[in-house]
Amino acid sequence: MKAKLALANGTVFTGESFGAEGETAGEVVFNTSMIGYQEILTDPSYCGQIVTMTYPHIGNYGINPEDVESSKPQVAGFVVREYSKVYSNFRASESLGDYLKRNNVVGIEAIDTRKLTRIIRDAGAMNAVISTTDLDDASLIRKANAFPSMSGLDLAKVVTTKAQYRFSKNGKSDFKYRIVAYDYGIKTNILRKLYERGCDVTVVPASFPADEVLKLDPDGVFLSNGPGDPAAVTYGIDNIKKLIGKKPIFGICLGHQVLALAAGAKTFKMKFGHRGANHPVKNLMNETVEVTSHNHGFAVDPDSLPADYEITHIDLNDNVLEGFRHKSLPLFCVQYHPEASPGPHDSDYLFDDFIKMMADVKVEVR
């Protein structure tokens, strides 16, 4: 079936539909990962976004029930150069196309994704519409321009859990630490990483009050990844302000940005963001370089960071701030994804650093 992708700048691509039929709108972005499309599709940080894969062949290993990062696809739409209808993987249970169709995700293939990526790179991420029902170029462009901008959007409230829950697996009970994890769009592999390190993790909604967190008396507080504009998550910023200095805190992605805003720093929208699994990041604390997984369209302004905080990580491609910590309080965060899924595991040590930070505070309290 014929499908069209229309950008807000007036560019229209004609291709073929795969996945669900219909129409969808969102901010069109690109991801440079060669593999990991299943994890990307189910990452809540992509809520409200139409994801373009720059690697040309997508779908050849199908979909399996184990490699999801949430209960369903979170993307607004999916764009690929060539969708592989034939898949081969002993773990696969269905094709990518069937998975998208079952979950009502509109996709388009057979378009020039290299051209699309260059447009996003040069002009910046912008709104777009994919449709199989309306093929009128002018109509689609109008719809793309009428769709709300990502700036100012609070999407954490859309993807967060509705109720508090405890992450459990295999009936484990010998936990060393108790953690409260704020769910701004948390990925399953983050919970696994904490669980594997002996953490009893209680996941709470994005707006969970700080005083209720303190009543739970955790050993540490984790701030998760998530979608949208961090400055719009005002309730999260207010709650974190009340927790700074009270409990050890570790933040990732949106959690990093919310923590920065709570500390008094500022955030800004990037031109086209970082999305991929091979971004080099320099650890300024030990002068090493890590290859990391990224997914963010906003960043922290390094010049706005208060004097009692210090930058710990920067992106070597564009010098964007990728991590900071407090100089005396037990608090640190990174913009990128140490849990990967997909991506390398160079930054896995950050979870160990969080464990050590909680252990050190426990010793001090004694």
pLDDT of residue 216: 98
Per-residue pLDDT averaged across 60-73, rounded? 97
CATH number of 2-146: 3.50.30.20
Q: DSSP for 100-154?
A: HHHTT-EEEESS-HHHHHHHHHHH--EEEEEESS---HHHHHHHHHHSPPSTT--
For the purposes of burial, counting CB atoms within 10 Å of the CB of 260, is it exposed (0-12), middle (13-18) or buried (19 or more)?
buried
Tell me, yes or no, if 339 is annotated catalytic.
Answer: yes
Verify whether residue 345 is a known catalytic residue. no
Q: What is the mean pLDDT of residues 230-247?
A: 99
Q: For position 169, what pLDDT does the model report? A: 76
If one compares 158 and 168, the residue with the highest pLDDT of the two is: 158
Active-site choice (256, 274, 294, 337): 337
Residue 70 has pLDDT above 90, yes or no: yes
Once rounded to an integer, what is the mean pLDDT over residues 168-189? Answer: 90
Which listed residue (27, 39, 69, 339) is catalytic?
339
User: What per-residue confidence (pLDDT) applies to 364?
Assistant: 67
Interatomic CA distance for residues 85 and 58, integer angstroms:
9
Catalytic residue (one of 47, 199, 253, 333)? 253
pLDDT of the residue at 365: 55
Residue 334: which of 316, 359, 311 has the closest Cα?
Answer: 311
Q: In the chain, which residues fall in CATH 3.50.30.20? A: 2-146
Q: Determine the straight-line distance between the first and last CA of the chain, rounded to whole angstroms.
A: 67
pLDDT category at 176 given cuts 50, 70, 90 is: very high
Tokens coding 354: 């969080």
Q: Let me know if 66 is a catalytic residue.
A: no
Quote the DSSP letter at residue 258: H
**pLDDT over 90 percentage in the chain:** 97
- CA 133/CA 195 separation, integer angstroms: 45
pLDDT, one tens digit per residue, over 192-210 is 999 999 999 999 999 999 9
Domain 156-365: CATH superfamily, name plus number: Class I glutamine amidotransferase (GATase) domain (3.40.50.880)
CA separation (Å) from 315 to 230, 264, 291? Answer: 20, 22, 10
DSSP-H helix ranges across the chain: 37-41, 96-102, 113-123, 137-146, 156-159, 188-196, 210-216, 234-243, 254-263, 349-365
pLDDT at 341 over 60: yes
Instruction: Say what the pLDDT of residue 290 is.
Output: 98
How far is the C-alpha of 233 from the C-alpha of 267, rounded, in Å?
Answer: 12
CATH 3.40.50.880 spans which residues of the chain?
Answer: 156-365
